[in-house]
């Protein structure tokens, strides 16, 4: 018996090390994520393929029967089952024999829904309990799953608006769409507040809800809001383990969106967590140090002043480190973090502590989110995260350096006080009914202060519907003026600020070269890296990227999508059209992106900037998401690995960390120009 127990313990230890930990610190020997699936018996494969065809035929019948009718928008609620099983079967992503039966049940659910939908009926939308659903993502057009727990007594079309709790799941390298849909069809999860809708996020697999996984939360919410009335002032973000890490970043990046946050365990930043949990000391280069500021929540801890937050950790859990370091970061900003600790508990919720977390969150929800707080305190390092309640940051002095704003209005006079640092553009926005009476005046005085520099600006007051919008910009002398800054050159602005990875957080299309690059080695690198990008986008972000040949790119494509263009001007006609508008010399002989001419035969550019063919969208050249296979092994490693631009030395072979040698890299300035000296 003791021998069996020892063997079991060793197996458990091996499984733990395989999941993450020091065993995954060798970038030369990187195991695949997700891992290879099990063999599918031939008779099972035939059964699944036959049912997939039947479900595909059902989907075609629904399209025909409901063409042009409102019910067709619910087709993703059927397609999600087909896509889940098709993906698992085609790509070898069944990880347990019990998933074969699960796949059959999911397809049966899909066929049942298809039968109803062909008649224009959607009975699952009126059902309480567990409701697996799907939506079509704007990012790549893929069908993404999510799960709902709908409270008893739910009445479609009723006047009551429901509390909504979002749940971010933990790390699961084998969490395929089949596995996830089976879970949300059979388990309500750990938290089901009475009378609340719970949204279980897939988050595009196993990325701690970062990048496209972050956008998934907002796309899923937008989809469910079409069918379920949600109380905007009672939306809670929660998660545990990897999901706790996701909860932290949602909390600090969107502090004005949520009513409350309840992160459990997980990680809150990269360097210290990897040192403690992974026994790995990272050595970031200059641009990586700045880009750590995207998901290092410690850099954003001041934003917890705007969001009631209840953290949880087990006393004996190594992931208690996340809340501990956030507690220190909060204290450095004058805040005291509420941190509930489960006594003598490892990586799980202690029952009494869980009850206390629930009681505190429920009390916060009872109050609800304050509609138009008299004061907004907000910190940001990138215009990707520009909003907090009625404040929007529209310009930063320098991206990835902190920008702070403290704005308040007086209740008895038309006066606003604004204290800011590192910010060059602001907008104040009150929706109809939100502006306080004090701002309903002929003019409102806005007093700006940044250190010793003070500016007073007069702007028109609120409208009679109590809406109010006012924008401001800072000039080169440090004085504030009403309105937008003058000048025709593009500026970094919310949604168009880089770095490369940001372009894959909104709709994109890949533009594939049909010609040959000027140099064979460049062509070889482009072919390999493009193929890798398409493969890894499916594996890591669970979608199929839209792809078009350069000759077939349409004006509609340019208007609708970020362009991800591969190759060089000799081989890709789109690059030939725009090469003179990218801000650097790129000829058959020379690549001078970094200011230093380099031989084009051995170097390629990787960059993001406004698209010269449509400045409201990005163009990306020769890059996909910038973290690679080594980073899949621990979610804290999944951070941007390249800035706005880089020059890749293709004489260095790509590996699990880099697409080649990095000859130079950096950030554009706030006007998308190369900074002086680079």
Q: Which pair of tokens denotes residue 504?
A: 């894959």
**Confidence bin at 497 (pLDDT 50/70/90):** very high
Check whether 360 has a pLDDT greater than 90. Answer: yes
Distance CA 576, CA 197 (A): 51
Spell out the domain ranges in the chain. Answer: 124-367, 400-482, 500-666
Instruction: Give mean pLDDT, residues 65-87.
Output: 99
Instruction: Give mean pLDDT, residues 98-119.
Output: 99
Q: What percent of the chain has pLDDT over 70?
A: 97
Check whether 9 has a pLDDT greater than 70. Answer: no
Instruction: Give mean pLDDT, residues 209-229.
Output: 99
At 223-278, the pLDDT tens digits run: 999 999 999 999 999 999 999 999 999 999 999 999 999 999 999 999 999 999 99
Confidence (pLDDT) at 677: 62
Distance CA 619, CA 563 (A): 5
Instruction: Please state, in angstroms and as integers, the Cα–Cα distance from residue 461 to each residue in 249, 341, 467, following that order.
Output: 35, 48, 9
Confidence (pLDDT) at 1: 34
- Given a contact cutoff of 8 angstroms between Cβ atoms, the answer to whether 604 and 622 are in contact is yes
Please provide the DSSP assignment of 254-296 as one string.
STTT-SEEEEESS-S-SHHHIIIII-------HHHHHHHHHH-
Confidence (pLDDT) at 547: 99
Confidence (pLDDT) at 678: 58
Confidence (pLDDT) at 656: 98
Check whether 453 has a pLDDT greater than 50. Answer: yes
What is the overall mean pLDDT for the chain?
Answer: 96
Confidence (pLDDT) at 260: 99
Which residues lie below 8 Å from residue 286, measured CB to CB, with a gap of 6+? none
Q: Which residue has the higher pLDDT, 558 or 20?
A: 558
Q: Which pair of tokens denotes residue 525?
A: 């690198």
Confidence (pLDDT) at 13: 31
The CATH architecture of the domain made up of 124-367 is 3-Layer(aba) Sandwich (3.40)
Confidence (pLDDT) at 16: 34
At 455-486, the pLDDT tens digits run: 999 999 999 999 999 999 999 889 999 999 98
Instruction: Give mean pLDDT, residues 196-211.
Output: 99
Confidence (pLDDT) at 7: 34
CB atoms within 10 A of CB 258: 25
**Confidence bin at 20 (pLDDT 50/70/90):** low
Nearest to 400 by CA among 212, 675, 144, 165: 675
Q: Which residue has the higher pLDDT, 677 or 321?
A: 321
**Confidence bin at 594 (pLDDT 50/70/90):** confident
CB atoms within 10 A of CB 475: 12
Confidence (pLDDT) at 18: 42
Distance CA 563, CA 547 (A): 10
In the block, tokens 């429920």 appear at 362
Confidence (pLDDT) at 355: 99
Confidence (pLDDT) at 376: 99
Confidence (pLDDT) at 17: 36
Q: What percent of the chain has pLDDT over 90?
A: 94
Confidence (pLDDT) at 487: 78
Check whether 3 has a pLDDT greater than 50. Answer: no
Distance CA 532, CA 431 (A): 45
Helix (H, G, I), strand (E, B) or coil at 314: strand
Distance CA 64, CA 67 (A): 5
DSSP tag of 169: -
Q: Which residue has the higher pLDDT, 447 or 477?
A: 447
Check whether 164 has a pLDDT greater than 80. Answer: yes
Enter the pTM of the model.
Answer: 0.96
Lowest mean pLDDT among 7-11, 311-315, 331-335, 485-489: 7-11
Check whether 6 has a pLDDT greater than 80. Answer: no
Instruction: Give mean pLDDT, residues 558-577.
Output: 99
Confidence (pLDDT) at 23: 86
Helix (H) or strand (E) holding 419: strand 415-421
Distance CA 406, CA 419 (A): 5
């Amino acid at each position: 018996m003791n021998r069996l127990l020892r063997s079991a313990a060793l197996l458990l230890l091996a499984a733990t090390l395989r999941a993450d930990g020091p065993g995954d610190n060798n970038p030369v020997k990187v195991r695949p994520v997700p891992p290879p699936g099990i063999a599918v018996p031939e008779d099972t494969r035939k059964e699944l393929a036959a049912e997939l065809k039947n479900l595909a035929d059902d989907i075609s019948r629904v399209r025909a029967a409901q063409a042009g009718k409102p019910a067709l928008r619910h087709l993703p609620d059927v397609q999600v089952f087909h896509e889940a099983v098709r993906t698992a079967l085609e790509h070898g992503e069944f990880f347990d024999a019990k998933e074969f039966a699960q796949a059959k049940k999911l397809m049966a659910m899909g066929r049942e829904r298809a039968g109803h939908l062909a008649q224009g009926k959607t009975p699952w939308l009126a059902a309480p309990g567990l409701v697996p659903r799907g939506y079509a993502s704007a990012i790549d057009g893929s069908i993404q799953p999510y799960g709902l727990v709908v409270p008893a007594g739910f009445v479609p079309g009723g006047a009551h608006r429901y509390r909504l709790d979002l749940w971010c799941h933990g790390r699961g390298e084998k969490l395929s769409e089949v596995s996830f849909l089976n879970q949300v069809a059979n388990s309500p999860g750990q938290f089901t507040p009475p009378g609340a809708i719970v949204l279980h996020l897939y988050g595009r697999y196993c990325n701690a809800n970062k990048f496209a996984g972050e956008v998934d939360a907002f796309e899923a919410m937008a989809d469910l809001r079409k069918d379920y009335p949600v109380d905007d002032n009672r939306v809670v973000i929660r998660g545990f383990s990897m999901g706790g890490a996701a909860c932290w970043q949602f909390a600090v990046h969107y502090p004005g969106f949520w009513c409350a946050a309840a992160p459990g365990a997980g990680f809150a930043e990269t360097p210290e967590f990897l040192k403690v949990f992974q026994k790995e000391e990272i050595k970031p280069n200059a641009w990586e140090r700045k880009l750590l500021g995207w998901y290092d929540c410690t850099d954003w801890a001041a934003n917890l002043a705007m969001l009631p937050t209840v953290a949880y950790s087990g006393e004996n859990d190594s992931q208690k480190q996340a809340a501990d370091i956030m507690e220190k970061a909060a204290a450095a900003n004058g805040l005291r973090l509420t941190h509930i600790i489960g006594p003598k508990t490892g990586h799980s919720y202690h029952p009494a502590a869980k009850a206390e977390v629930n009681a505190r969150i429920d009390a916060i929800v009872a109050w609800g989110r304050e509609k138009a707080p008299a004061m907004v305190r907000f910190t940001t390092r990138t215009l990707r995260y520009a909003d907090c309640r009625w404040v929007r940051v529209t310009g930063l002095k320098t991206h990835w350096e902190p920008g702070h704003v403290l704005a308040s209005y007086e209740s008895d006079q038309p006066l606003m006080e604004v204290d800011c640092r590192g910010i060059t553009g602001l907008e104040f926005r009150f929706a109809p009914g939100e502006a306080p009476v004090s701002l309903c005046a002929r003019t409102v005085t806005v007093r700006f202060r940044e250190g010793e520099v003070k500016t007073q600006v007069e702007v028109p007051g609120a409208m009679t519907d109590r809406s109010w919008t006012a924008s401001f910009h800072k000039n080169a002398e440090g004085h504030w003026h009403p309105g937008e800054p003058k000048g025709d050159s593009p500026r970094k602005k919310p949604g168009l600020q880089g770095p490369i990875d940001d372009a894959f957080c909104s709709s994109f299309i890949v533009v594939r070269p049909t010609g040959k690059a000027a140099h064979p080695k460049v062509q070889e690198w482009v072919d390999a890296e493009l193929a890798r990008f398409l493969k890894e986008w499916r594996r890591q972000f669970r979608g199929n990227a839209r792809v078009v040949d350069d000759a077939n790119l349409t004006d509609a494509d340019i208007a609708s999508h970020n362009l991800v263009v591969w190759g060089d001007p000799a081989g890709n006609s789109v690059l030939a059209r725009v090469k003179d508008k990218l801000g650097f010399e790129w000829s058959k002989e020379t690549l001078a992106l970094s200011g230093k001419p380099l031989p084009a035969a051995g170097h390629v550019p990787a960059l993001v900037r406004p698209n010269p063919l449509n400045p409201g969208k990005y163009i990306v050249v020769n890059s996909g998401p910038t973290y690679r296979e080594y980073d899949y092994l621990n979610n804290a490693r999944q951070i941007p690995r390249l800035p706005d631009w880089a020059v890749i030395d293709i004489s260095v072979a790509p590996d699990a960390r880099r697409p080649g040698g990095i000859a130079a890299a950096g950030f554009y300035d706030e006007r998308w120009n190369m900074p002086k000296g680079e």
